Amino acid sequence: MTAFDTAKRFLEACDKPAGWAGCQAFVEPGATFVSQSEPLADITTVEAYCEWMMAFGTITAPGSTFDMHAASYDESTRTATFFATYHATHSGEGGPVPPTHQQTHSHYVYALTMSASGKVERMVKIWNAGWAMRELGWA
């Protein structure tokens, strides 16, 4: 399996969401996470992000889905990039307010740096969280 194949399998597991249990096999121990988005600013590991996605996708917005628009891999930097739209309805518990039953169709990009052994060692999420929060009725 190529590093790009591993990155794709990780993305599928992460955004389904399978939580850390479903993502761990694709990730290096201690892999870092960064995002300049308010709800994610304090998350610093891929493990913590996978668990955040699990909670959001099963408790706050059960049944969330995503559409992949583009995927690429740069061999020279060992970086996989994915552009997608996340579709969610705040119908469950969790979030800053009771369920609003409002929807978001929020664009995002992942940049996954892969290790020499072909696993995720760094993850960057580019996401306009403010837009999504407004669509969900949270701001």
Neighbours of 95 (CB within 10 A): 18
What pLDDT digit, counting tens, does each position of 86-114 carry? 999 999 998 899 999 999 999 999 999 99
What pLDDT digit, counting tens, does each position of 22-72 carry? 999 999 999 999 999 999 999 999 999 999 999 999 999 999 999 999 999
- pLDDT band at residue 130 under the 50/70/90 scheme: very high
Contact 137, 20 (CB under 8 A): no
- From 124, 41, 130, select the one nearest 80 (Cα to Cα): 124
Work out the angle at residue 64's Cα, subtended by the Cα atoms of residues 4 and 12, and round it to the nearest 5 degrees: 15
Phi, psi of 87 (to 5 degrees): -115, 120
- From 85, 73, 87, 84, select the one nearest 120 (Cα to Cα): 73
Alpha-carbon distance values, 41 to 33, 96, 113 (Å): 10, 16, 19
Walk me through the domains of the chain, giving residue ranges and CATH numbers. Answer: 3-135 (3.10.450.50)
Helix (H, G, I), strand (E, B) or coil at 79: strand
